[in-house]
Amino acid sequence: MVLRETRRAPDPARQFEENVLAHLDGMYAVARRLTRDATVAEDLVHDATIKALKAREQFEAGTNFKAWLLRILTNTFINGYRRGGLERATFESAHDNGDPIADGWISAATMRSMREPEEEALRPVLRAELSRAVDELPDEFRIAIVLCDVEEMSYKEIADAMGTPIGTVMSRIHRGRKILQQKLQHHAIAAGLIREQPDDASNVVPLAARRAAR
């Protein structure tokens, strides 16, 4: 019976399942980021995968399959795995107060010292810190950044996955990155990588003034 089955044309349900399982590592990596917990990540990927298998008729051939799977994963996370919707309101307002450092005036020298000299990579001591900082981001910022950076989804695909306009995705990515940068900068100072004080006014002088001073 089993032998006869393997000789027949591949069962579309099984074929679809194989396609889904081919993306399991990516889905798990994203789920670990979203849930911040290995066990919950497994539950999330399991639920999302089964949902995807059940919804296989709804996948439009020719569209991005991985983005479709990640949309289901994101949906499942947003709708079932978050404890209440309180977090969103608190954080979105808390991080929207126009902090000059959060707004991006970190000096070029500071930024340069956060990278490996003559290399494109972030300094190893900052990589672990960055990972922690991503975990601490509010859900909305973290989801947008993870989908963008880990899975290289387009803004449009992220907007579809999160059920928000593209503009909202852009502002979440922007603000999320500013928070990450700020935390890295504080950590770099604490670790002695840079000597500048983030609150020192000389560190937030606009570029034109710096040029004039040279």
By CB under 8 A, name the binding residues for another protein: 13-14, 17, 21, 24-30, 32-33, 40, 42-43, 45-47, 49-50, 53-54, 79-81, 104, 107-108, 111-112, 114-115, 120-122, 126-128, 130-131, 134, 145-146, 148-150, 152, 154-155, 170, 173-174, 177, 180-181, 184, 206-208, 210
Minimum CB separation of residue 160 from another protein in Å reads 15
Q: Is the dihedral of CA 163, 149, 166, 19 positive or negative?
A: negative
Minimum CB separation of residue 108 from another protein in Å reads 4
Minimum CB separation of residue 121 from another protein in Å reads 6
- Nearer of residues 68 and 106 to another protein, judged by Cβ: 106
- Nearer of residues 13 and 191 to another protein, judged by Cβ: 13
- Nearer of residues 71 and 177 to another protein, judged by Cβ: 177
Minimum CB separation of residue 5 from another protein in Å reads 12
